[in-house]
């Protein structure tokens, strides 16, 4: 970055830097109850001062995120196993030499590692980051930092390797979603195996609401010919307009991360250009040169705004509580606590209802799949049975049956899947809309109970619209297999078996196998829809618990602060109230200055 643009950037940082500093000073005067908010603001100030830009690498399981990161770093560093690897966010920062620092959720000090031949980086990550070595984060790791001397990192970029969304490990998606608010932009990786799913589209909608810039990369282009690549890009571009509706849609960078890594390791500049990664890096560097600080400041303002909002709410509650006599405040707090067991019972009841609704939907789906199987047999069987009844030559019979199934199965199941998915989605949305209404009412009940104590209206968290993300199969099983009794095919059996015997055996095998094919495709659809239902219902249940926890916790924390202040002052709180009111006005002024 040239010196003139750097000086311009420093000048544009100052107002936000001053706002954060003044907010920290204000919160420092408010005491221990605001230490977390002060620490969060201190992190934002540090990132702003260093120009430290958080770039997340997002994508579904097995899209090639680790391979891409290795290519960007120029080193085969991160594991690319066949199993979901990353279960903890991994931050990759600029450093003079390779080293690792592991941070923990409790008060334990971070641990530092210097990877070596005896302790390779892959072993450190396997022990602390991978799902296999640290299942469900039983080690209590909050994050892992890798320091590396890559050129891109020296631009002030921090790469964040996130757990894959949509994997069989559901908590990985949750961890990724929790990481997003701390990110400034993202690289989103998709590939043709399978194409963009509705799970990814839903996640992108959430990410786009938080991140001002997303770079879209289409990986594994080395597996496609020119026609397949163009069709895949057209498909992806059309669906990305759902989350990027402006203009002609977002720019998509076709790449082969595998070829890029090989080219970088072999110092093959021409191969790097052919892989598409050089163009991605050129655009990233150009973005960092022209827009980095602008996007960074926008992201930091959003994050600071959330911190300010929490502090303002807590101050208002504390002010209201201070106006109550100590005895009355304690009585009202006890009264609020007495309402919590009932809230908990209602939450458990709501979860039970949700579980029952899910079971009923799954049972209904099972019945629909049985009916779909009957329709598939009725639709597909006549065309196959015609050849089984009329063709004498076993090889010709098998060829015609295979050809018929290759056409008939996709022709039947593609529209049937669309119809079934829409029907199941509509039923699930109706159920979840009712559940969301119950959830909002329950949270609003907590809000009203708290308002009785503080005389401050709580804004219940806005519930998301009921949405079901389905990831149905994109390919169909159409292949019949050679019988195990005849592993070498018809050629060997012709020498030893009569034509009539071979024909009868082929008819029996083909009849069994085409019916089994229909069953396999039915099960494939059923599994996909069932998994999507369970994931969506689980997410709504988790959202309710989290919203209740935050609402109750905010109320209790604010009252605790008020009671501590009243005990410290013992008698007159008017001066304290005036002081807190001034701090509240300062915070509101600072919050407004963020724009």
DSSP string, 426-472: HHHHHHHHHHHHHHHHHHHHHHHHHHHHH-----PPPPPPP------
The contacts found for 319-322 with CB under 8 angstroms, 24 or more apart, are 319/577, 319/580, 319/581, 319/584, 320/454, 320/455, 320/456, 321/453, 321/454, 321/558, 321/559, 321/562, 321/563, 322/562, 322/565, 322/566, 322/573, 322/576, 322/577, 322/580
Question: Are the C-beta atoms of 517 and 478 separated by less than 8 Å?
Answer: yes
Going by the DSSP 8-state scheme, the letter that residue 163 receives in this structure is: P
Task: Let me know how many helices (H) and strands (E) the chain has, helices first.
Answer: 16, 9
Angle between helices 257-265 and 277-290 (to 10 degrees): 90
The low-confidence residues of the chain, meaning pLDDT below 70, are 1-14, 79-87, 164-178, 245-249, 447, 450-497, 554-555, 558, 562, 565-573
pLDDT for 567 equals 67
Kindly report the three-state secondary structure assignment for every residue of 238-285: HHHCCCCCCCCCCCEEECCHHHHHHHHHCCCHHHHHHHCHHHHHHHHH
CB within 8 Å of 363: residues ≥ 6 apart: none
Residue carrying structure tokens 């101050």: 315
User: How many residues are there in the chain?
Assistant: 595
DSSP 148: E
Q: According to the model, what pLDDT value does residue 12 have?
A: 43
| CA angle 185–287–152, rounded 5-degree value | 80
Whole-number Å distance between alpha carbons of 541 and 548: 11
Give the full edge-to-edge strand order of the sheet including 157-161: 111-113, 99-104, 141-148, 90-94, 157-161, 53-59, 185-190, 214-218, 252-254
Q: What 3-state class would DSSP assign to 523? A: helix
111 in Cβ contact with 178 (< 8 Å): no
Model pLDDT, residue 367: 93
How many Å apart are CA 293 and CA 259, to the nearest integer?
A: 32
CA triple 46-582-447, angle to 5 deg: 85
The C-alpha atoms of residue 567 and residue 44 are separated, in whole angstroms, by: 34
Rounded to whole angstroms, the Cα distance separating 125 from 312 reads: 40
Q: Which residue has the tokens 């509650």?
A: 317
- Residue 4 is predicted with a pLDDT of 33
Residue showing tokens 């009264």: 335
* Cα 189 from Cα 100, distance rounded (Å): 25
CB 115 within 8 A of CB 121: yes
Distance CA 530, CA 541 (A): 17
- For residue 455, count CB atoms less than 10 angstroms from its CB and return exposed for 0-12, middle for 13-18, buried for 19 or more: middle
- Contact call for residues 503 and 397 (beta carbons, < 8 A): yes
Give the pLDDT score at 256. 94
Supply the DSSP string of 367-398, one letter for each residue.
HHHHHHHHHHHHHHHHHHHHHHHH---HHHHH
The C-alpha atoms of residue 353 and residue 345 are separated, in whole angstroms, by 12
Whole-number pLDDT of residue 416: 86
d(CA 198, CA 212): 21
Q: Determine the pLDDT at residue 270.
A: 92
State the pairing for strand pair 157-161/185-190: unpaired
Nearest to 212 by CA among 293, 285, 305, 304: 293
């Amino acid at each position: 970055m040239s010196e003139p643009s750097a000086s311009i950037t420093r000048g544009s940082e100052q107002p936000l830097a001053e706002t954060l500093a003044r907010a920290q000073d204000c919160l420092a005067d408010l005491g221990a109850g605001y230490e977390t908010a002060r620490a969060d603001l201190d992190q934002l100030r540090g990132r702003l001062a260093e120009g430290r830009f958080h770039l997340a690498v997002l994508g579904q399981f097995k899209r090639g995120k680790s391979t891409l990161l290795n290519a960007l770093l120029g080193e085969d560093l991160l594991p690319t196993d066949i199993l979901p690897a990353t279960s903890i966010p991994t931050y990759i920062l600029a450093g003079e030499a390779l080293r690792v620092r592991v941070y923990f959720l409790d008060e334990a000090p971070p641990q530092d590692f210097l990877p070596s031949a005896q302790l390779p980086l892959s072993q450190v990550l396997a022990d602390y980051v991978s799902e296999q070595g640290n299942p469900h984060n039983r080690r209590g790791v909050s994050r892992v930092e890798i320091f590396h001397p890559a050129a891109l990192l020296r631009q002030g970029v921090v790469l964040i390797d996130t757990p894959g969304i949509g994997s069989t490990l559901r908590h990985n998606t949750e961890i990724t979603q929790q990481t997003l608010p701390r990110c400034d932009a993202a690289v989103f990786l998709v590939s043709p195996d399978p194409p963009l799913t509705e799970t990814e589209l839903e996640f992108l909608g959430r990410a786009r609401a938080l991140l001002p810039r997303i770079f879209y990369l289409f990986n594994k282009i080395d597996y496609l010919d020119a026609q397949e690549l163009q069709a895949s890009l057209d498909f992806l571009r059309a669906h990305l307009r759902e989350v990027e509706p402006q203009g002609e849609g977002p720019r998509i960078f076709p790449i082969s991360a595998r070829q890029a890594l090989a080219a970088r390791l072999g110092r093959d500049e021409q191969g790097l250009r052919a892989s598409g990664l050089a163009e991605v890096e050129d655009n990233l560097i150009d973005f960092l040169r022209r827009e980095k600080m602008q996007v960074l400041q926008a992201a930091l303002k959003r994050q600071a705004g959330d911190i300010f909002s929490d502090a303002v709410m807590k101050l208002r509650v504390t002010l209201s509580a201070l106006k109550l006599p100590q005895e009355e405040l304690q009585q009202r707090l006890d009264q609020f606590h007495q309402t919590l067991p009932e809230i908990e019972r209602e939450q458990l009841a709501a979860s039970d209802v949700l579980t029952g609704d899910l079971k009923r939907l799954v049972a209904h789906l099972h019945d629909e799949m049985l009916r779909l199987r009957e329709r598939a047999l009725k639709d597909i069987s006549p065309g196959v049975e015609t050849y089984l009844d009329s063709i004498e030559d076993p090889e010709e019979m098998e060829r015609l049956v295979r050809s018929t199934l290759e056409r008939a199965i996709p022709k039947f199941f593609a529209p049937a899947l669309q119809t079934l998915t829409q029907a199941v989605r509509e039923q699930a949305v109706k159920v979840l809309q009712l559940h969301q209404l119950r959830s909002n009412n329950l949270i609003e009940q907590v809000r009203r109970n708290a308002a009785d104590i503080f005389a401050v209206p709580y804004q219940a968290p806005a519930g998301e619209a009921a949405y079901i993300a389905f990831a149905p199969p994109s390919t169909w099983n159409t292949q019949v297999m050679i019988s195990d009794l005849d592993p070498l095919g018809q050629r060997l059996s012709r020498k030893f078996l009569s034509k009539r015997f071979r024909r009868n055996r082929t008819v029996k095998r083909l009849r069994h196998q085409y019916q089994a094919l229909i069953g396999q495709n039915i099960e494939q659809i059923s599994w996909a829809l069932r998994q999507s239902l369970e994931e969506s219902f689980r997410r709504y249940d988790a959202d309710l618990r989290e919203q209740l926890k935050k609402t109750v916790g905010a109320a209790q924390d604010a009252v605790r602060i008020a009671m501590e202040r009243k005990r410290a002052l013992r008698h007159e709180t008017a001066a304290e109230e005036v002081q807190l009111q001034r701090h509240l006005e300062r915070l509101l002024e600072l919050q407004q200055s963020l724009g």
